[in-house]
Amino acid sequence: MARRKKKQEIFALGNEAVVEGALIAGCTFYGGYPITPSSEIMEIMASRLPAHEDGVFVQMEDEIASMGAVIGASLAGRKAMTATSGPGFSLMQEHLGYACMAEAPCVLVNVMRGGPSTGLPTSPAQGDVLQARWGTHGDHPIIVLSAADVQECLEMTIKAFNMAEKYRTPVILLIDEITAHTREKIELPNPGDYEIHSRVVPSMPPEWYKPYEETVRGVPPMPPIGSGYRFHVTGLTHDRNGYPTSRPDEVDELMQRMHRKIDQFFYDIQLTEETTCDDADVVVVAYGSVARSAEFAVQQARESGVKAGLLKLQTLFPYPRRAMEKLLAHARTLVVPEMNMGQISREVKRVNMGRASVRTINRVDGQIITPSEILKVIMQG
């Protein structure tokens, strides 16, 4: 048997790991505008992409245009991404909705900093969680992922690209300043270690092609512009041919399909990680860098005899309700620490339906929630 090649190790920032992940996933386009604490992603992309065979890097005039460029690149057949932080994320909302409607696969990394407005540019927060889900107007489906450590930044970026391509949807990856600016040792995967998905392109002759046709998966095939398949792209509600319509039956079909394509693949999309949850009385539900504090707190609680567990959310939306419902069979208390005034805790309470008691820990002073703060609440039961 051939010996497996030893994996290359690097000592990298969370932001660097995002870039590594994107390049492994096949990203060949980056359009963006720098903003702290996400700037390193753009900086490294600017040096790495032009060295790539057909990589394109564009610094746009602002975040609105950045997202526009990303959608354009995506329609032209590229795997495209951008990265930003709070204020830039607000500007990107308009085109984010366009990407949902045009079903243009793309990845948007939001490194969360303190808000609202320009807020705390150099401090961590988790205030954009509900904005990521509901920031753009209209009843749109979207996938929101998060990453807690540097290795996970790499893995979740690959998964974000895979989901975007599989389901023809924008995917938002939320990380926070702490994860983005922590250096850790990570392993770079060998080629073939990860499954890489690319969008399905049409196989029928161009004259038979209908750009938004109903399919079993709910995801129509997508040709790159210029490959002979003609289609019309619009932000207006459109029919199967891509032309604007307001006929209720056609509108309903489109909206139902767009939601169905995300909802029906919950088992593929809703990712969580459990630590000592099997017999836990107290379960901490956390995501992002706070999940690392929670892991430390849970470990300390176990050492002092409290049956504690951690449910780390890697997918935030669609909310992984099944993973949580399973734990509600034995959990008496749920602890939800967040660096905001309580955004995911709303989802937790919704799924909980009064079964366990929900304790929230909220911190909005630009500092990380420490393990001891979480441990204190765990010990109170």
273 binds other proteins (CB under 8 A): no
**DSSP conformational letter for 202:** P
20 binds other proteins (CB under 8 A): no
Whether 148 contacts 289, CB under 8 Å: yes
CA 123 from centroid of its chain's CA atoms: 20
247 binds other proteins (CB under 8 A): no
Alpha helices in the chain (DSSP H): 14-25, 39-48, 63-75, 86-102, 129-134, 150-167, 177-180, 248-263, 266-269, 290-303, 321-327, 344-352, 371-379
37 binds other proteins (CB under 8 A): yes
114 binds other proteins (CB under 8 A): no
From the CB of 276, what's the least distance to other proteins, in Å? 13
Q: What distance in Å separates the CA atoms of residue 264 and residue 128, rounded to the nearest whole number? A: 26
End-to-end CA distance of the chain: 52
Within residues 252-271, the interface with other proteins by CB under 8 A covers none
CA 287 from centroid of its chain's CA atoms: 12
By CB under 8 A, how many residues form the interface with other proteins? 24
Within residues 162-191, the interface with other proteins by CB under 8 A covers 177-178, 181-185
Q: Which stretch binds other proteins (CB under 8 A): 161-169, 246-254, 286-294, 313-321?
A: 286-294
Q: What is the dihedral of CA 352, 353, 356, 357, to 10 degrees?
A: 100
368 binds other proteins (CB under 8 A): yes
276 binds other proteins (CB under 8 A): no
Q: What distance in Å separates the CA atoms of residue 149 and residue 288, rounded to the nearest whole number? A: 8
Q: What angle do CA 80, 85, 88 make, to 5 degrees?
A: 80
DSSP-derived pairing of the beta strands 143-146 and 183-188: unpaired
123 binds other proteins (CB under 8 A): yes
295, 301, 311, 361: which one binds other proteins (CB under 8 A)? 295
Q: Which stretch binds other proteins (CB under 8 A): 78-86, 193-201, 289-297, 339-347?
A: 289-297
Which tokens belong to 98? 């366009």
From the CB of 293, what's the least distance to other proteins, in Å? 5
Nearer to other proteins, 37 or 127 (CB): 37
Q: Which stretch binds other proteins (CB under 8 A): 4-12, 21-29, 248-256, 330-338?
A: 4-12
302 binds other proteins (CB under 8 A): no
- Using CB under 8 A as the criterion, which residues of the chain lie in contact with other proteins when the complex forms? 9-11, 37, 121-123, 149, 177-178, 181-185, 289, 292-293, 295-296, 299, 368, 370-371
